[in-house]
Amino acid sequence: MEIIERNNNELINLIQEWEPKLNSLSEEVLSFMRNSQNRTIKQIVGHMIDSATNNTHRIVHLQYQPSPLIYPDYANNGNNDRWIAIQNYQTENWADLVQLWKYTNLHIIHVMKHVDQDKLTNEWITALNQNVSLELMMLDYPRHIKLHLKEIEELIIKSESPAII
């Protein structure tokens, strides 16, 4: 499916653009700058890893489980903050974390390339009781990643700005 291919190419471009940017960040910027959710860049990257792994599992389950699928929803009701805290991304080795982010995203791209086209309309039910199709979930994934990369970009810019007196 052409739209999925464009989607995957967009993800590849984001990985190629952001891997060197992420690797170049100082420990001060990584660990102390916080977004509106009080997350550091390390924690934001950890959340993106969680998104990649959870969405990979959903993609797999949606191809063989009955539809609509009731699947644990880690992202709502405060659970994503629990995932971040339990995995303690803040103390993770940064180079390892960047590589994990890169390779979990390369893997979800691989999985999306091989989705059974007959299963694209299969749905899962979110914690907010919304039905989401496999196709919509896959097409929305880059938007989610870009949202968090934008948060990181804003923290980088903020770290470069002189303090206002």
DSSP run (H or E) holding 70: strand 69-70
Q: Is the pLDDT of residue 165 over 70?
A: no
CATH number at residue 27: 1.20.120.450
Q: Which residues contact 28 (CB under 8 A, 6 or more apart)?
A: 159
Query: In the prediction, which pLDDT does 160 show?
Result: 84
**What's the structural domain count of the chain?**
1
Q: Which residues contact 97 (CB under 8 A, 6 or more apart)?
A: 42, 45, 46, 49, 89
The residue segments making up the domain with residue 66 are 2-160
Residue with tokens 């699928």: 69
Q: Which residues pair with 132 in a beta bridge?
A: 124
Residue 154 belongs to some domain of the structure? yes
Q: Given strand 123-125, what is the order of strands in its sheet?
A: 69-70, 123-125, 131-133
pLDDT digits (tens, 9 = 90+) for 14-62: 999 999 999 999 998 998 888 888 899 999 999 999 999 999 999 999 9
> What's the mean pLDDT when you consider all of the chain?
91
Query: In the prediction, which pLDDT does 8 show?
Result: 94
Residue 165 belongs to some domain of the structure? no
**Confidence band (pLDDT; 50, 70, 90) for 163?**
low
Residue 148 belongs to some domain of the structure? yes
Residue 79 belongs to some domain of the structure? yes
For range 103-111, the mean pLDDT: 98
Q: Is the pLDDT of residue 72 over 90?
A: no
